[in-house]
Structure 1
Amino acid sequence: MNFASVTVSFDTIADFKVANNTLTFSTNFTTQTTIENVIAALAGTPTFSQELSAAATAIGANKFAAFRFGSNIYVLGNNATTGTVGAGEQLIALTGNLVLTNTNFGLFLFFHK
């Protein structure tokens, strides 16, 4: 896929189980429901590129969020540039029609003494 003249690639996790696994990030995150509501408001049948761009805008700068496209879940880590998807973002595909919640998708805080 090509976004903003940068080829975006992603890793795929084929065996993620919501009851047993957790994705934890050291930054803010936006709920899957919030992002999917923004995507649902897109006209027609949006392409992956359109959904990814909408997600990047809705997530905000320096945050992570998940959204569903087809039968998979995609976790997008947006860098400081809201609304653009490029080399600074992280994208992970989780195979399967999953719902990520605060028990399996969340924020890891670093504590310093």
Structure 2
Amino acid sequence: MIRSIARLPRLFLFGLWFAGQVLFCCRDVLADVLTPGSSATPRVVRLPLASETGARAAVMGALITLTPGTLTLGVIDDHHELQVHSMYHKDAETAVTELRDMEARMLRAFGPPREEVPV
């Protein structure tokens, strides 16, 4: 119970950070749509995950898909990697670095996985 209460501020701060990321990405997509030419640099990258559970990999995939300009295409290697389509990262290394940062923030917000409760 106390762990859940202690987790609330981290979840709230992560939610604020993620909302800001969504707004920044919306701005970038809108600027690309409204200006002549295109600044898109589409690419597909493989993102190795630090998440140990399938549920956390699913949350990470959902967060990526909710962010404008990125899309989770699939899960590779039994929830250990995601295949991600990125529209606006300048290169694959930048894409992986920024997505790993998002995962690290998500993992800190959710805290360590719960221990199995013995029956």
**Shorter-chain TM-score range:** under 0.3
Greater Rg over alpha carbons, structure:
2
TM-score (norm 1): 0.26
Which structure shows the bigger proportion of residues in helix conformation? 2
Which structure shows the bigger proportion of residues in strand conformation? 1
